[in-house]
Structure 1
Amino acid sequence: MRQYRAMFALPGVRALMTVMFFARVPVTAAPMVLTLHVVEGLGRGYGAAGLVGAAATVGIAIGSPVVGRVVDRYGLRRMLVVVTVGETLFWATARFLPFPGLLACAFLGGIVMVPVMSIGRQAIAALVREELRRSAYSVDSVSVELTYMIGPAAAVALVTQVSTVAALSAMAVAVGVVGLALFAMNPRMRAADEDAEPKVPRREWLTPRMVGVLAIGAGAVFVLAGMEVTALATLRESGQLNWTGAVYAAICLASAIGGLVHGAVRRSLPQLTLMVLLSALVIPAGLIGDAWWVLALALVPSSLVCAPTVAATGEEVARLAPAGSRGEATGLQSSAFTLGAAAGAPVAGFVVDHTAPAAGFVVAGMGGLLVAAVAFALSRSRSLAPAPA
């Protein structure tokens, strides 16, 4: 716990972690609100809801590095003004849009989404010295796990107890409040001794090694998304869908414990090793049994590695990216996470639909191992440029 005490004793860290926790709740609720609005509010099917989600995902993947580059060049506050107004307008007007209009605006809304995740990771790199960043990024990953337990559940409750219009309006208010809070807080995006560092060309820091780090981030989320979809399909096939919350709670709890342990030790496993463990441990999960408690126990080993893998990705990006390009680098990391999630769920779902639920775990794990092999090859590339200090 010495690492955590030293990290939280740094100026501004406690306030940053607290604000980022609450700021992420609307981010985690957003996909569920959109899905339920399309299905319940517009009377469309889940396929149509998936199209809206895909449009928003593509927008996020495109917009994240662009928004990060704006932060690098013009500062956090100028970026926040633009994206807060843009995303708030999307949620405020979504209730009035027909399906084709919602589809187009979801793409635009994704581009101007307030980059809460990226801001948190970039601020950690600026506030926390390198020897304590593992602890900081571990707390950050655990915080994300907790918000994913709150946000979607809150969205479902608001839609079922009130209406989709109320959920959309609540999202507009929440995004506006988050933008204002971050604008007022204005966390540092660079450490004091980094302000004078010269601008480093992208080709010098976006090396094969950095690409490998981003690939592992995408692969980790691919595995997680595939694991969650397959777990849901397994429970549905065995008639135990009402135990979904318990299984997901076990997954999140195990991931949080793994993240806390990862952040407490001075030397942890490398990012690539964590990725291999995450992928390999999820493969046999569907072969042990289909009782909900057996499935939950089977997913605990891989879940213990979830938060550490995500935390290690953030730590590596912060280490390899120069301070003047950290916003763009964390934006690319967000794009990698987004694309990994966008690929993992449909790939695992397709396999489950055409074979059996157990095959979804195998495909998710094998996909992660394939990404790990590619990342290993990139790390050994002879064209690797030296990482900037």
Structure 2
Amino acid sequence: MSFQTYAELWRIPDVRRILVLGLFLRLPMPASAVIVTLHVVGPLDRSYAEAGLVSTVLAIAMAISAPWLGRLLDRLGLRRTLLLPLAVLPIAWSVAPWVGYLPLLALVAVAGLFTVPSFSVVRQVMIRSVGPGKRTAALSADAVMTELCFMTGPLIGVLGASYLGTSWALMLSQWLGIVAAVGLWLLNPAITESESVDPAEATASVPAVAAAIPAAVATADGGAAEPSSRRWRLPTWVSPGVVLLLAGTFAASLILVAEDLGTVAAMRDFDRTTYLGLVMAVWALGSLLGALIYGALNSHPSAAMMLVLLGATTMLAAIAPEPISFAALLLVSGFFCAPTLTAALEAITSRVSSSVRGEVMGWHGSAITLGSAVGAPAAGFAIDMIGWQGGFLLGGGLGLLISTAIWLTTRRISKPYPEASGLQAE
């Protein structure tokens, strides 16, 4: 184990710049989640269920847009892809805080469809900037920064809503992300190893972004459009191994949202809701520490192994008899949260060509979003049926089932992509 790897990563200019820029790109997400809830139940005088519907609409829109925008990244490059979000988001987020509930829903849906693919961009730059031997450490460093965003974002959102009002806080938090996106457009870092040619030259046959959208949708692998008779074939990157790893990502996300709801229910059952924020912080701290240690390891456990550990420790939290032991078990479970997602992403990207990495990372993001969208009602049902323990048992049990399928399958049917592993194609 060597933490010196992180110092070496920080000395790489592109890594340093994209990590800092990524922090500002992502902060609006957790901050706005809190602000939107306060805005809907406060100034708009709606229920918490209606506030939750806004979050659900945004999640669905982002799940739809992630693979599509990822494919545009592969085809058009970073700058031309960012023109779409930079044209739509300033308008949507300047108007949304000042309208009624139904127009807010519509504008949130539009904004979600054109959200800057920050997670995909940051990770692609990280992977491109380091050698294969440091890829896991790079993705772990990104996971640490993501955890910091989700630890500080809600606090920033609450403070902003308290001192500025929810409307101004929502608009300003989203404009922070828009300004960061403009910075990303100006910086224009390369996102693939082979990006030595200007993306505009590589797509000279496409005169404008709007003209490229139908071609991007019709193209399976980021290359030229296929004849109509082959248009509906699966993308070339699709393999049983990649599909199972995406399923593992879905399961990990489902586990996390099940733990989230289960923690709220547990602290209410323990009659210690005043300590809920502290317990959540302990859980996030475990995830942050886990990401740091996982990236510093010389040999990294597989995604299937990490999902097994995440599922098992999640189920273990269900036996806690009181708040202190519950927080301790949650810390242990949190230790495997970020590393599980990192291991799955590293395994996925090592199995595909860099020419389709943006699209694949988009599907990875969609798997996370859909896992949250499915996990929330499923965990809620389990909690209603058997108590707060139901969320942990359901999430952990599904994680163990899916990790077993991955464990038995990925070793036999999927190999790392030659360019990612440094090997020559057979």
Q: Indicate the residue corresponding to 2:369 in structure 1.
A: 338
1:222 counterpart residue number: 254
Report the residue type matching 1:319 in the other structure: S
Contact 1:217 1:337 in 2 (8 A): yes
Aligned to 1:62: 64
Equivalent of 2:4 in 2, 26, 31? 2
Give 1:386 deviation, angstroms. 7.3
Structure 2 partner of 1:264: 296
Q: Distance in 2 between matches of 1:115 and 1:123?
A: 12
Residues 75 and 222 of structure 2 are in contact (CA less than 8 Å); yes or no, is this contact kept in structure 1?
no
Distance in 2, Cα, partners of 1:290 & 1:134: 36
Q: Give, in whole Å, the separation in 1 of the partners of 2:197 and 2:121.
A: 17
Quick one: which of 351, 373, 376 aligns to 1:320?
Answer: 351
Q: CA deviation at 1:385?
A: 7.9
* Cα pair 1:61 1:335 within 8 Å, conserved: yes
Q: 2: distance between equivalents of 1:129 and 1:79?
A: 26
**Counterpart code for 1:112:** F
Letter of the aligned partner of 1:126 in structure 2? R
Q: 2:326 aligns with which of 295, 305, 317?
A: 295
Maintained 8 Å contact 2:351/2:415: no
Matched, 1:173 2:205: no
CA distance in 2, matches of 1:195, 1:357: 55
* Aligned amino acid, residue 98 of structure 1: G
**Equivalent position SS for 1:269:** coil
Counterparts of 1:1-389 in structure 2, within 5 Å, are: 1-192=3-194, 203-291=235-323, 293-376=324-407, 378-379=409-410, 387-389=417-419
- Amino acid aligned to 2:338: A
What SS does the corresponding residue of 2:27 show, helix, strand or coil? helix
Q: Which amino acid in structure 2 is aligned with residue 313 of structure 1?
A: A
Amino acid across the alignment from 1:308: P
Report which stretch shifted further, 242-251 or 21-30: 21-30
Instruction: Indicate conservation of the 8 Å contact 2:313/2:396, yes or no.
Output: yes
Question: Partner amino acid for 2:156?
Answer: A
Cα distance in 2, alignment partners of residues 385 and 77 from structure 1: 32
SS at match of 1:320: coil
The separation in 2 between residues aligned to 1:11 and 1:159, in whole angstroms, is 35
CA distance in structure 2 between the partners assigned to 1:180 and 1:11 by the alignment:
19
Which amino acid is 1:232 matched to? V
Aligned 8 A contact 2:66 2:363 in 1: yes
> 1:378 Cα deviation (Å)?
4.8
The aligned residue for residue 231 of structure 2 is none
Do 2:27 and 2:177's aligned partners in 1 also have CA atoms closer than 8 Å?
no
Alpha-carbon deviations, 1:230-273, whole Å to 9, x = none?
Answer: 11111122221111121111111111111111111121110110
Choose 1 or 2 for highest CA Rg.
Answer: 2
Per the normalisation by structure 2, the TM-score is: 0.85
The 10-residue stretch of structure 1 (59-68 or 166-175) with the greater mean CA deviation from structure 2: 166-175
Give the structure-1-normalised TM-score. 0.93
- Distance (whole Å) between structure 1 residues aligned to residue 223 and residue 411 of structure 2: 23
Q: Cα gap change, 1:65/1:91 in structure 2, threshold over 3 Å: closer, same or farther?
A: same
Q: Which amino acid aligns with 1:6?
A: E
Q: Mean alpha-carbon deviation: is it higher for 115-124 or for 189-198?
A: 189-198
Change (3 A) 1:195 1:131: farther
Q: Does the C-alpha gap of structure 1 residues 32 and 137 become closer, same or farther in structure 2, counting only changes over 3 Å?
A: same
**Alignment partners' CA distance in 2, 1:199 and 1:106:** 28
Aligned equivalents of 2:357, 2:315: Cα separation in 1: 35
Secondary structure in 2 matching 1:205: coil
Q: Bigger shift: 219-228 or 192-201?
A: 192-201
Task: Provide the C-alpha distance between the structure 2 equivalents of 1:3 and 1:374, rounded to a whole number of angstroms.
Answer: 33
Contact 2:28 2:174 in 1 (8 A): no
Q: What secondary structure does 1:204 align onto?
A: coil
Q: How far apart in 2 are the matches of 1:194 and 1:372? A: 38
Q: Which residue identity is paired with 1:127? A: S
Give, in whole Å, the separation in 2 of the partners of 1:238 and 1:171. 35
Measure, in 1, the Cα distance between the counterparts of 2:377 and 2:7.
41
Q: CA deviation at 1:376?
A: 3.7
C-alpha spacing 1:111/1:268, structure 2 compared with 1 (3 Å): same
Which amino acid in structure 1 is aligned with residue 357 of structure 2?
Answer: R
- Kept in 1: contact 2:97–2:168 (CA 8 A): no
**Range 305-314 or range 136-145, more displaced:** 305-314
Report if aligned partners of 1:126, 1:191 keep a CA contact under 8 Å in 2: yes
Which segment is superposed worse, 53-62 or 189-198?
189-198
* Equivalent-residue separation in structure 2 for 1:55 and 1:274 (angstroms): 30
Question: Which whole-Å deviations, capped at 9, do the CAs of 1:81-108 have from their partners, x for residues lacking one?
Answer: 2113322222211123322222222222
Aligned mates of 2:407, 2:347 — CA distance in 1: 14
The offset of 1:199, in angstroms, is 5.8
> Residue type matched to 1:335 in 2?
S
Count residues in correspondence: 387
